[in-house]
Amino acid sequence: MFKNHSDNIDFGSYKYYIRDSFLDLSKIMSSMNIKGIKICIVSDSNVSKLYTDEVKKVLNESFDLYDFSFEAGESYKNLSTVQSLYGFLIENHFNRDDILIALGGGVVGDLCGFCASTYLRGIRYIQMPTSLLASVDSSIGGKTGVDFEGYKNMVGAFYEPLFVYVNTIVLKTLPEGEFKSGLGEVLKYAFILDKDFFEYLNENLINIYNHKPKTINTIIYNCAIFKKMIVEEDPKEKGIRVFLNFGHTIGHAIEKLSNFTKKHGECVAIGSFFAIDISREMGYLNENEAKRMQQLIMDYGFDIDIPDSISTDDIIKAISSDKKQGKDGLRFIILDNIGHAKIISNMDKKYIIRGIENGKETNKRTDTQI
């Protein structure tokens, strides 16, 4: 499936553009015959000061422009911020013809998308992810939402954007931690879906950290294609889309227990590390494959150390309250090969406990190589 190049991607009802500037944005809008309306650029306090003006410059001849910015951080991805945005849109008389642009990372995309899906029962919005994580994951597939009382994405909607526009240049200016967080999700795609992509990631570590444009575009393109494949087969998460939760069961628990001080993709990488161990422990994965994948996670610079304040017991408790629990008990995604995932229903928690304990040990024994 993996291809060593990038291109526009057609998601059926919307397109995904990979560009190296913001300039094509106005051309795309005009090709869709969109003009003369109001546009609100929704962003957070970090991204806003970097890029809102640049995007405005591209659009200001054809549109009536507004911008709304909120305090950066997962803790502001809540209904209170959503309500501020509703208020801003009402105040400025936004109606059903108008458009929101989500300019930012996953928090901005999720929140702005949810607001677009519910304001006047739905107005159009454009995803302009500015982080690697949002580019390869949250901007694709129409999942929108906010956190509620500490529960991640408890409130939300499935709502597709008008299009997704990735300007890869902005990834260069992102804080290193943000970029690494995105790589956590990138690794996940390789683990669950594609061994060739896994090998590519093994070989291109230096190119990635040097932001070599061809490599970055290839990664973004392929991850988007992976997600497209899964989302199209299972738009409402009734079947194989749950594969995307690989690494997330434990990852979400750690993210929550660390009060969101650890970044999402970083937690996914840690969760993947443990889930690989669990897959091996349950006999689905052989020792060598498990080691190669865990080594890649460490090569990409992820630190598997969990703070001492978070016990295995805490993690198990957090997992048990996870909303992903269905009629068939805890569903857990494991690997039975590099590039191949499997759903386990009624997962026995003893494997998770053992996996976390083993994972911690493995990490202590292994020196990271970067």
Task: Give the shortest CB-116-to-its own copies separation in angstroms.
Answer: 11
Residue 323 touches its own copies, criterion: CB under 8 A: yes
Check if the beta carbon of residue 4 is closer than 8 Å to that of residue 200. Answer: yes
Check if the beta carbon of residue 49 is closer than 8 Å to that of residue 71. Answer: no
Q: Which of residues 59-118 bind its own copies (CB under 8 A)?
A: 79, 83, 86-87, 90, 93, 95-97, 114, 117-118
- Nearer to its own copies among residue 118 and residue 295 (C-beta): 118
| Rg value, the chain, Cα | 20
Task: Give the shortest CB-324-to-its own copies separation in angstroms.
Answer: 8
Q: Residue 326 carries which DSSP code?
A: B
Please pick, from the candidates 325, 337, 358, 368, the single residue that binds its own copies as defined by CB under 8 A: 325
Residues 6+ apart with CB under 8 A from 206: none
Check if the beta carbon of residue 111 is closer than 8 Å to that of residue 128. Answer: no
Please pick, from the candidates 73, 239, 307, 326, the single residue that binds its own copies as defined by CB under 8 A: 326
Residue 329 touches its own copies, criterion: CB under 8 A: no
Task: Give the shortest CB-351-to-its own copies separation in angstroms.
Answer: 22
Q: Which of residues 225-264 bind its own copies (CB under 8 A)?
A: 236
- CA separation for the pair 248, 261 (Å, rounded): 16
| Cross-strand pairs, 151 | 148
Q: In what order do the strands lie in the sheet with 9-10?
A: 9-10, 15-19, 163-167, 124-129, 99-104, 38-44, 64-70
- CA separation for the pair 279, 32 (Å, rounded): 47
Give the residue among 185, 183, 195 at the shortest CA–CA distance from 340.
195
Residue 153 touches its own copies, criterion: CB under 8 A: yes
Please pick, from the candidates 105, 156, 251, 359, the single residue that binds its own copies as defined by CB under 8 A: 156
Q: Which of residues 132-151 bind its own copies (CB under 8 A)?
A: 143-145, 148-149, 151
What string marks each residue from 31 to 50 as x (binds its own copies by CB under 8 A) or -? -----xx-------------
What string marks each residue from 169 to 208 as x (binds its own copies by CB under 8 A) or -? ----------------------------------------
Task: Give the shortest CB-328-to-its own copies separation in angstroms.
Answer: 10
- CA separation for the pair 234, 355 (Å, rounded): 29
Please pick, from the candidates 122, 175, 177, 329, the single residue that binds its own copies as defined by CB under 8 A: 122
- Nearer to its own copies among residue 232 and residue 303 (C-beta): 232
- Nearer to its own copies among residue 46 and residue 117 (C-beta): 117
CB atoms within 10 A of CB 20: 14
CB atoms within 10 A of CB 246: 26
Phi/psi for 103 (5° steps) reads -105, 100
Residue 307 touches its own copies, criterion: CB under 8 A: no
Query: Which residue spans within 223-338 are E strands per DSSP?
Result: 332-337
Query: What residues make contact with its own copies under the rule CB under 8 A?
Result: 36-37, 79, 83, 86-87, 90, 93, 95-97, 114, 117-122, 143-145, 148-149, 151, 153-158, 236, 321, 323, 325-327
